[in-house]
């Protein structure tokens, strides 16, 4: 394993000069300014490499999968052709690890972005705020049928206690797009965006993922690219949208769709670790040879499929056990500290939610210390 750092390009509040001062071996970035579904040209890729100032571009996170592919629409063949061309252009520029996700409409979602915790601020997700949004702000048809009756009752009481500012905050966080997201919405356009998925079952959605992989993996294999699918974040349905990359069985199914080393996993310990029934050390052990990229993040779970993000070594995921399994890999896999508290001077600058400088530096230091200790123990 070797450490990397996610950087959002020239508009990132953290400069590449600050990133280059960190003890890392590569940068994780993407061309967020390019429209979803368009080809990433070699010229644009070279420009981003130039902006990295000699720092290696270790991982692309992400080349977005267009909704037309996810829905298997009439536009899918052209969109798949563009995706293949983007992979070919990346490979031609020497970039061969590409992360993607197959979450419909929304990328990672949070309802609150500044939940106070000792020593800093962090984020929270998937509690009664999300249910209240789905039931009473979005007013999704038949939404109550997706939840147990007692949870609907709790969410109803919660919504009645929310101030107008609370409701606006939750709505903004759900719709406006968090770092790495490729879309933002108003309430009306969001309703339009999720409408097609009322008619796509989880089984059909998984078939669409298989079609994507069958079309893309041969190109990736030919070009020497390692594709890595990021787990659903959160790993439960959100406003009725299907989730198919949330459990050990999901990952096993995906790897079997096109059984090739070019099709692999991004092991995100935060996303997968949000579910108590996911055995992270076991998953790392089982899928070790197909894990091409790692996000190390920790969470403190709470009732009603909710959680708060925690320090990298302080949550419900046993990071030492997970890393111990990952260190058995025969290849050097990139990892990045994923999310972090808002600490020190981070509070004085407009950093992206979860993507602070000092908070992630703390996580990086903790994880590198853990890695060094485990490696020394294994040698000893």
> Which three-class secondary structure state does DSSP give residue 287?
coil
pLDDT digits (tens, 9 = 90+) for 180-209: 776 789 999 999 999 999 999 999 999 999
Q: Known catalytic residue: 338? A: yes
Half-sphere exposure of 102 (CA within 13 A, CB side): 28
Catalytic residue among 99, 129, 339, 346: 339
Catalytic residue among 83, 268, 312, 346: 268
Read off the pTM: 0.96
Q: Specify the pLDDT at position 49.
A: 98
Q: Known catalytic residue: 358? A: no
pLDDT digits (tens, 9 = 90+) for 23-80: 999 999 999 999 999 999 999 999 999 999 999 999 999 999 999 999 999 999 999 9
| Mean pLDDT value of segment 299-326 | 94
Q: Where are the beta strands (DSSP E) in 62-148?
A: 97-101, 112-117, 120-125
Q: For 148, list phi and psi in degrees, rounded to 5.
A: -60, 150
| Mean pLDDT value of segment 304-332 | 94
pLDDT digits (tens, 9 = 90+) for 234-293: 999 999 999 999 999 999 999 999 999 999 999 999 999 999 999 999 999 999 999 999
Catalytic residue among 66, 158, 230, 292: 230
Quick one: which of 15, 13, 29, 80 has its CA closest to 334? 29
Contacts of 371 (CB under 8 A, 6+ apart): 1, 323, 327
Extract the tokens encoding 89: 């252009």
Q: Specify the pLDDT at position 182.
A: 65
Q: Specify the pLDDT at position 194.
A: 95
Q: Give the C-alpha separation, 1 to 321, whole Å.
A: 14
Q: Which domains does the chain have, with CATH numbers?
A: 2-105+202-379 (3.20.20.150), 112-191 (no CATH)
Neighbours of 146 (CB within 10 A): 15
| Mean pLDDT value of segment 155-173 | 96
Q: Known catalytic residue: 99? A: no
Instruction: Give percent of the chain with pLDDT exceeding 70.
Output: 99
Hunting for tokens 């970039």 — which residue is that? 95
C-alpha 272: how far from chain center: 10
Q: Give the C-alpha separation, 32 to 282, whole Å.
A: 34
Catalytic residue among 100, 197, 335, 355: 355
Q: Known catalytic residue: 295? A: yes
pLDDT digits (tens, 9 = 90+) for 321-371: 999 999 999 999 999 999 999 989 998 888 888 999 999 999 999 999 999
Neighbours of 330 (CB within 10 A): 7
């Amino acid at each position: 394993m070797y450490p990397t750092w996610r950087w959002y390009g020239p508009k990132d509040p953290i400069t590449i000069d600050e990133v280059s001062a960190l003890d890392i071996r590569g940068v994780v970035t993407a061309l967020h300014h390019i429209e979803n579904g368009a080809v990433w040209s070699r010229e644009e890729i070279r420009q981003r490499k130039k902006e990295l100032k000699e720092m290696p571009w270790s991982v692309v996170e992400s080349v977005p999968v267009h909704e037309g592919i996810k829905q298997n629409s009439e536009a899918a063949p052209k969109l798949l052709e563009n995706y293949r061309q983007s992979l070919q252009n990346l490979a031609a520029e020497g970039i061969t690890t590409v992360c993607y996700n197959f979450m419909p409409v929304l990328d990672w979602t949070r309802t609150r972005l500044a939940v106070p915790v000792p020593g800093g601020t962090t984020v929270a997700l998937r509690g009664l705020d999300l249910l209240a949004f789905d039931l009473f702000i979005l007013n999704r048809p038949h939404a109550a049928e997706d939840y147990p009756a007692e949870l609907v009752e709790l969410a109803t009481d919660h919504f009645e206690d929310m101030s107008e500012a609370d409701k606006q905050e939750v709505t903004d966080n759900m719709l406006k797009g968090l770092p790495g997201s490729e879309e933002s919405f108003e309430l009306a356009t969001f309703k339009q965006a999720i409408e097609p998925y009322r008619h796509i079952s989880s089984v059909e959605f998984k078939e669409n993922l298989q079609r994507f992989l069958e079309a893309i993996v041969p190109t990736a294999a030919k070009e020497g690219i390692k594709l890595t699918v990021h787990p659903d974040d959160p790993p439960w349905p959100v406003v009725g949208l299907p989730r198919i990359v949330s459990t050990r069985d999901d990952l096993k199914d995906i790897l079997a769709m096109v059984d090739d080393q070019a099709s692999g996993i991004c092991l995100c310990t935060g996303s997968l670790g949000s579910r108590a029934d996911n055995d992270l050390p076991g998953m790392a052990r089982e899928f070790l040879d197909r894990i091409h990229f790692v996000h190390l993040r920790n969470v403190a779970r709470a009732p009603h499929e909710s959680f708060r993000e925690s320090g990298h070594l302080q949550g419900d995921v046993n990071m030492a056990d997970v890393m111990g399994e990952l260190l058995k890999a025969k290849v050097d896999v990139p990892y990045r500290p994923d999310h972090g508290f808002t600490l020190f001077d981070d509070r004085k600058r407009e950093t992206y939610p979860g993507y602070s400088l000092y908070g992630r530096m703390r996580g990086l230091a903790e994880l590198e210390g853990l890695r060094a200790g485990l490696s020394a123990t294994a040698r000893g």
